[in-house]
Amino acid sequence: MDYLFGTLYRIEQGREMYHFNSDSELLGRFLRLKENDRVLDVGTNNGVLLCYAALQKPERLTGIDLFPEVVDLCARNLAYNGIAAELFATPLQQFEHAPFTALICNPPFFTTANASLKSQNRYLRAARHTDFLTLSELFFHGSRLLESGGTLTLIIPHAVMDEAFAAAAEQDFHLRRIAAVYDHPSSESKPAGIKRCLLEFVLHRTATIEVEPMRYLDRLHAEAEHSEKALKSVSF
């Protein structure tokens, strides 16, 4: 059982399955939900993002993943942490459901036609490479499954920003919040470049864009430890 930074939750991670990482933590802590939100986590894996979502007490949580055994692991983690959610083993492209108000995803983003560069582990391959889900498909099916005014929140590398914004515009998603992620603060002796971008889009609604403070990976866990101390004083 691994500690989920910034929360009181503990997560079981499958030995061969994709493990949560700093991207998972950043996205979970960037997520902003309302009490009446009906949330869909695409590629729920071990349930980390559903755990972060549960902290904000939305109306309903739903998770989907490609593999039944991964969904079983997610179900165990949610049960262990006292979180209720409906879970399905299905590709996003085939998923049908009543409309959601919020969709979250830590999507795959590596694109290559060279099979030798892809992991032979099917769990890691699905999590890292776009064989099973492209950004265009994520926004297309997001628009199909979300109510008008619903949000799609994700984390992507800075290098695929243009692709993400093109896919969003095609489905009438509008940027509402953004935060840049760096390895460390920049200085004359140690310049820093953007590693990731946290993005929240809203469907069919224009919005004033909120630019949030920059995040730094070298401070991530220090901030999370501070958050844990605060959380320990709260009753769930």
Domains of the chain: 2-231 (3.40.50.150)
Q: Angle 220-231/22-30 helices, nearest 10 degrees?
A: 50
Ranking 116-120, 144-148, 168-172 by mean pLDDT, the lowest is 116-120
Q: Angle 161-170/135-145 helices, nearest 10 degrees?
A: 30
pLDDT at 57: 97
pLDDT digits (tens, 9 = 90+) for 216-236: 988 886 654 544 444 444 443
pLDDT digits (tens, 9 = 90+) for 15-61: 887 788 889 999 999 999 999 999 999 999 999 999 999 999 999 99
- Pair 201, 151: CB distance under 8 Å: yes
- At residue 201, what are phi and psi to the nearest 5 degrees? -110, 155
Supply 170's token pair. Answer: 């095609």
pLDDT at 188: 62
Ranking 34-43, 107-116, 180-189, 210-219 by mean pLDDT, the lowest is 107-116
pLDDT at 144: 98
d(CA 20, CA 47): 9
* pLDDT for 135 beyond 70: yes
